[in-house]
Amino acid sequence: MSTYRAPVEDMTFLIDELLQVGETLGGLPAFADLEVGPELSTALLDEGARLAGDVLAPLRRVGDDHPATCQDGAVTLSPGYGEALQQLGAGGWMGISSDPVYGGQGLPELYATAACEMWNSANLAFGLAPMLSAGAALAIHAHASEALKQRYLPKMHSGEWAGTMNLTESGAGSDLGVMKTRAIPDGTQYRIHGQKIYITWGDHDATDNIIHLVLAKLPDAPEGSRGISLFLVPKFLVNEDGSLGERNDVYPVSTEHKLGIHGSPTCVMAFGDTAGAVGYLVGEQNRGLACMFTMMNEARLKVGVQGLGAAEGSYQQAVVYARDRVQGGVAIIEHPDVRRMLLTMRALIEAMRALVYTEAVTMDLAHRGPPSDRARHQFRIDLMIPVIKAWLTEVGQELTSLGVQVHGGMGYIEETGAAQFLRDVRITSIYEGTNGIQAADLVSRKLGRDQGGAMRDALADVAATVASLGESSEPALVAIARQLACALAGVEASTDHLIAALESAPEEALGASFDYLMQCGYLFGGWHLARSALVAQQRLAEGAHNLFYVRKVATAGFYAEQVLPRCAAHGGAIAGGSAALVSYPAEWL
């Protein structure tokens, strides 16, 4: 069943009314020639919605039923996936926010984020292909030599060539320091020998070439993560004139058998089984992890978008089913508990979207805004990325599970397609750093680096919204203000508690880190819904007769009433301390 239609109305509201992209970004030198604003937003979102709904969504079940396979050193994609990827490239979507100097579109990251949501709502397994290519291209742009950038980036941005990231090895998951892949100097290039696992879209024939970014160690490298270098390893070598040369010594060994994302060819990749795979150093020797972290914020933001995308797809299918399924003489959408589930899905989805779109603008300002403000915006996006990655994917799992529940017994039957959203999204809390790693990063690094300075700046912005709501004559906004103020006070208390614990009992601080991350996620999501309600109420006061604005205020009210109280539960767990967790012997588990 394919029911997905991009929520263009909400996307447009966020981009052009809440975030006012024309004013916020349109005047920056990087975007001065693009006429950023409502007309551009409409054109991009409408075309993206057409591609997502008409091309990608019908392939979601196809990929699930007919997974990618590997035989004799080559991957066969699920039917239709190669042609769809070529359509994405032909439409200019692969380089939508990339540098125009190297063939990119040069648009704000905000539009790339909206496109990413559409691809992943329609077909998460497919959406991984443009996501990984964009990440690889970003790392090349930031760290490779000018010669490598000129040779590889234009073809990647056009979609003629794809990109991958090769980090993980068997026995070396998040601890990359123990990897065994080696790079042997060979004149001005290197010979790569080793094997990588879990390589997303590691091989296929949908593009003319695949550009692998591979982490490996030089013979004299220091021990641990300090001795990792990054290499560009093409599937086909590239001649001086830009034409493709001979096949490089890099091949897929197999495709992984997974719980979900069956249409994504997740490969075991072998490098250098014979003469050695030819690779080119990206960045400095032994600085490979630093190069990879350049694209981590962008990649983790996009994984959060995957949680949002799957939830939106699940919600749309659940609403259609609930309107059609009759039980007790009425459609089940009239049943209070079904309405509770659907409204919980809707409210959280709108909160997730508002949060991640807002921080996509922060990312644009950190990279392309006025130089004097970039450090401040970078601190904000660094703080928010672990929350976005982990909170959105945790909530995505909850909401896709609710989508199954709305279907009742039919949700458990694969032919409806409801369960696929849940199976597909389950990986998102694991890859790009597990959500436990994100929580530890938020508390130990992001809070610890400035004693909570960036967090307190963000909380001050929430407080300003609370004040604006409280000044309203609208009872609905005043009620939202009360709930948001309560949740804000809880996060402020948790922040103070954890900053103190980092000094006196760091293990207890880490034990509470996941609760803190979730508490922050619910608060920030509610904050942006409240901001949306303020804008919507202003439009209504100006005389707009649009049910969208009425519904936006009502959805924010439901979130404040029924979802924001979750902050208190997480805050209570933090205030209670983690002594019982820390003192519980591992051998008792």
The set of catalytic residues is 432
Residue linked to tokens 């409409």: 42
| Residues contacting residue 278 through CB under 8 Å, at least 6 positions apart | 186, 189, 190, 191, 192, 233, 234, 237, 248, 249
Torsion over CA of 130, 136, 139 and 141, rounded to 10 degrees?
-70
Q: State the angle between helix axes of 475-504 and 547-558 in degrees (0 to 180), rounded to the nearest 10.
A: 40
Distance (Å, rounded) from C-alpha 201 to C-alpha 183? 23
Residue 179 to residues 56, 151, 228, 254, 327, Cα–Cα distance (Å): 36, 29, 9, 20, 56
Distance (Å, rounded) from C-alpha 451 to C-alpha 444? 10
Distance (Å, rounded) from C-alpha 101 to C-alpha 79? 35
Q: State the angle between helix axes of 109-122 and 124-143 in degrees (0 to 180), rounded to the nearest 10.
A: 150
Residue linked to tokens 């001649």: 239
Contact (Cβ atoms closer than 8 angstroms) between residue 108 and residue 116:
no
Contact (Cβ atoms closer than 8 angstroms) between residue 345 and residue 553:
no
Give the three-class secondary structure for 104: coil
Residue linked to tokens 């009314």: 17
Alpha-carbon torsion (102, 108, 109, 114), positive or negative: negative
Q: Provide the CB-side half-sphere exposure for 392 (13 A, CA).
A: 33
**501-508 LR contacts (CB < 8 Å, sep 24+):** 502/443, 502/444, 502/447, 502/448, 505/582, 506/444, 507/578, 507/582, 508/577, 508/578, 508/579, 508/581, 508/582
Torsion over CA of 149, 152, 154 and 159, rounded to 10 degrees?
-140
Contact (Cβ atoms closer than 8 angstroms) between residue 210 and residue 161:
yes
Region at 195 (left for phi over 0; alpha for psi -120 to 50; beta for the rest)? beta
Q: Measured in whole angstroms, how far is the alpha carbon of residue 6 from the centre of its chain?
A: 17
- Enter the tokens of residue 268: 């075991």
